Amino acid sequence: MLELVSEPDTINFGDLPEEIDALLQQGVAAYRRDHVRADRLFRQALAAAPQQLPTYFCLYKIHTYQGHLDEAKAVAELGLAEAARQAGWPADWRRWVPHDPLPDGAGRFALYTLKALAFIHLRNNDSTSAANMLGALRRLDPTGAVGWPVVAALAEGIGSE
């Protein structure tokens, strides 16, 4: 979804206002040394432009990495709601319908974030919620384009222990 570009350690967050991209780049760089500063920079970007979806990604990703699963879940849910709004989809992911071809932009971000939420629920020992989300993703993204089969495999591995 996000990719490295020519400058070392620069992330291509897509078409963002320059000031938001700068905050996200600073947050990514800060994360290596100072998780609190990274969180503050990402939240500053979110407050300035809550419609910019990559900010949600940065926040839920760092909190998932740190094991702050309740915070990761809260931010991912906010990002999911914003992406659904931008895509013109219902707020409740259970009411989403498959699109052919798979959507780009906000729709793809919504599916990707639903996958992230399934992973967060799985890590938080909520296998029922994770399974429900993965079931929806099987229907919405049958080819696994947003990567949900990896989370499904993890869930199966946990279930067989």
Cβ–Cβ < 8 Å for 114, 136: yes
Q: Answer yes or no: is pLDDT of 38 > 80.
A: yes
Backbone phi, psi, residue 51, to 5° = -85, -10
**Tens digits of residue pLDDT in 77-106:** 999 999 999 999 999 999 999 999 999 999
Domains, the chain: 3-159 (1.25.40.10)
- How large a percentage of the chain has pLDDT more than 70? 93
pLDDT tier for residue 161 given thresholds of 50, 70 and 90: low
